[in-house]
Structure 1
Amino acid sequence: MKKKILLSTVIILVLIVAILLFKKFSTNKEVIKILETAKVKRGDIQEIIDATAIVKTQVNAYVKVGARATGKIQKMNVDVGDYVKKGQLIAVIDQRELKKEVDRLQAELNRARANLKEIEKVYPLKIKEAEENLKKAKANFEYALWNFKREKELLKREFTTRQDYEKADMNLKTAKADLDFAKASLNRLKEEYKVKLKEAESNLEAVKESLEKAKIKLSYTEIYSPIDGIVANITAREGETVVAGLQVANLITILNPDRLEVRIYVDETDIGKVKEKQKVI
């Protein structure tokens, strides 16, 4: 009897526990939250193949920009990794002495031009004046010669005095000397004009040539990029001194990105998925 009562009690307790557990799990059921919805539609399925790649440069991919001037680097406008465009100023070497030389030669050129202009203006006027003096000297000589012949003829006929004859003779000699001097002066001026003009023109051309050379040397202090590309290497920095001839070949190295090629190694299991003109990321 006692065993039946004990068994009944255990069964009742088990039922109570079962009921409590059922209520607990049935009331605390987790609610599903909808985070995002989308309409189902057709689309492309992309498959990405991971592969190892090596970037190599083609022939003439690198352009080495050198320095043709000696001096301290005044400005370095680029750094490794910077993209530069063709004709872009990338570096400047100290220009002070060369600029002074250019300014000096420019002033000398202005003086040479002014001197040539002065010669071309003054000497023709001097020559013209000398030609007028020669005309006057010729006229005086011709009159003196006529007067001398007249006095000589008159003296033969005793219509004049010896004193007047000798005076006419003296005037003729003076007029002849003046005429010779006027001719010599004119010839001297013409020859001097030719010489001075040639010297001035030669001097002007020499100064022009020197100035052009100085400007070319000055242009060497400004280094421009010869191509579009990326700065790959710089051998000297701002403030450092470069010597033309020693660092002329590789002051700045620029890489032409159009001269690069990529070699990709694809696994044999994926090779069938690769096609010509596929996009490479």
Structure 2
Amino acid sequence: MKQWRRLSRPARWLAVGGGLALVALACALIVQTASSSAPESQRLETIGSGDIEKVVLATGTLKPAVQVNVGAQVNGQLRRLYVRQGDRVKKGQLLAEIDPTLQESELNNARAQLASARAQKRSAEATLWRYRRELERQKAMMRDGAGVRSDYEQAQADYDAQVQQIAVNDAQIVQAEMTVKTAVANLGYTRILAPIDGEVLGIVTREGQTIVSSQMAPTILVLADLDTMQVQTRISEADVQKIRPGQPLWFYAIANPEKRYTSQMGFVQPAPQEMLEEQNMGGRSGGQQPTAVYYNGTFAVANDQRELKTAMTAQVFIRIAEAKGVLRVPVAALGQALDAERYYVTLFDQGRTETRIVRVGINDRRYAEVLEGLQEGDRVVLPQETTQE
């Protein structure tokens, strides 16, 4: 203090002025440091244009568009297989042959019964001719007054009965002919022919095995047309009203996520598969209500390269809306929602932040379409990423 009093008045003012200048310089440095470090301490993204595609995700299972379990309609031993697994076959091609001994015997027996029925009819026709002659003779005698009434009535009855016998013989012949046709068909069933063009997916019955088809047709092999695959998707109840036939989609198989396939939605089942199965069981669901409801949606995709295999799992993306070349904002930048379309967004401009209300359209969970409130080149603040130590 004594030293301060020893200073002259001009020296005092010079010292005070220097101190104030130092304080002002320090404040300026603090403000400049704060304003220049603000962009570095926050995550920013510049608003620009691009495409937005809104999709519904679903999981699907691949299977051939056409698949047939080729079975046997007759009993017998599988004598020979003419194809192997993986072979391509044409419709009508011989696939397998069942020992025809039983069916040949049935056919011979049916033909013998038919011959017997026809012989019986010929015999009945000969008897009918004799009864007709006798009836005509009795009628002539009755006209001449030389006949006996009882003999005439007997002749008439014999003739009428024989006419009915001919009708019985005709019915027996028809029945025997049908038996022959059935036996011929059963003999033909011993030769298993391909019902479609396709590939042999698997052999179920081997050569030498005995086939019994009394209750259901046993499967010998499985054929499928692998040129076209069908994808059956499970669509959530929350999304099913957004899906309709004809919508474009793309998917990848879990086995190869890098390969993308495109198609369009085909048929959307109007009832859950679980409910249909419950109806098939007579409504016996055990009183349990399913926790989630899914609807089946199916579509087809070409499989010329045979890359898609049966029972593969597919991740399906169904496009329900799109916007091309539109202004878009990161979904992460959207703050508090005012309604379904309007949100608060924080902007950074010239070292300052401001809050603005924007109106958005569709979004793809990463970007949202900007309808109002932002311009290209605006910088929006994104929330800070949190790291777990």
Matched, 1:187 2:156: yes
Deviations 1:61-100 (A, max 9, x none): 4322112222210221111122211111211112111211
Alignment of 1:52-201 (within 5 A): 57-139=62-144, 141=145, 175=146, 178-201=147-170
> Contact 1:89 / 1:225 at 8 angstroms: preserved in 2?
yes
> Contact 1:138 / 1:179 at 8 angstroms: preserved in 2?
no
- Residue 13 of structure 2 is matched in structure 1 by none
Aligned-residue CA RMSD in angstroms? 3.1
User: Which one is further off, 80-89 or 128-137?
Assistant: 128-137
> Contact 2:76 / 2:102 at 8 angstroms: preserved in 1?
no
Percent identity of equivalent pairs:
25
Letter in 1 for 2:76: G
Letter in 2 for 1:136: M
- Over 3 Å counting, the alpha-carbon distance change for 1:229 and 1:59 in structure 2 is closer
- Over 3 Å counting, the alpha-carbon distance change for 1:245 and 1:113 in structure 2 is closer
Q: TM-score by structure 2 length?
A: 0.40
> Contact 2:212 / 2:218 at 8 angstroms: preserved in 1?
no
- Residue 191 of structure 2 is matched in structure 1 by 222
Alignment of 1:191-270 (within 5 A): 191-244=160-213, 248=217, 250-260=219-229, 266=258
Quote how far apart the aligned CAs of 1:252 are. 0.4
Cα separation, 1, equivalents of 2:81 and 2:109: 28
Aligned residues: 179
**Secondary structure, in 3 states, of the residue corresponding to 1:105?**
helix
Q: TM-score by structure 1 length?
A: 0.54
Quote how far apart the aligned CAs of 1:266 are. 5.0
> Contact 1:79 / 1:231 at 8 angstroms: preserved in 2?
yes
> Contact 2:96 / 2:193 at 8 angstroms: preserved in 1?
yes
Cα separation, 2, equivalents of 1:230 and 1:93: 21
Letter in 2 for 1:105: A
- Over 3 Å counting, the alpha-carbon distance change for 1:195 and 1:266 in structure 2 is closer
Higher relative CO (Cα under 8 Å, sequence separation at least 6) belongs to 1
Deviations 1:150-192 (A, max 9, x none): xxxxxxxxxxxxxxxxxxxxxxxxx4xx422431232122222
Pick the structure with more strand per residue: 2
Deviations 1:120-148 (A, max 9, x none): 35413431343124313542x3xxxxxxx
Runs (5+) with no aligned partner, structure 1 = 1-55, 142-174, 268-278
Cα separation, 2, equivalents of 1:247 and 1:259: 29
Deviations 1:43-70 (A, max 9, x none): xxxxxxxxxxxxx954434322112222
> Contact 1:67 / 1:220 at 8 angstroms: preserved in 2?
yes
**Secondary structure, in 3 states, of the residue corresponding to 1:231?**
strand
> Contact 1:66 / 1:247 at 8 angstroms: preserved in 2?
no
Greater radius of gyration (CA): 1
Cα separation, 2, equivalents of 1:221 and 1:245: 15
Runs (5+) with no aligned partner, structure 2 = 1-60, 231-251, 260-303, 306-389
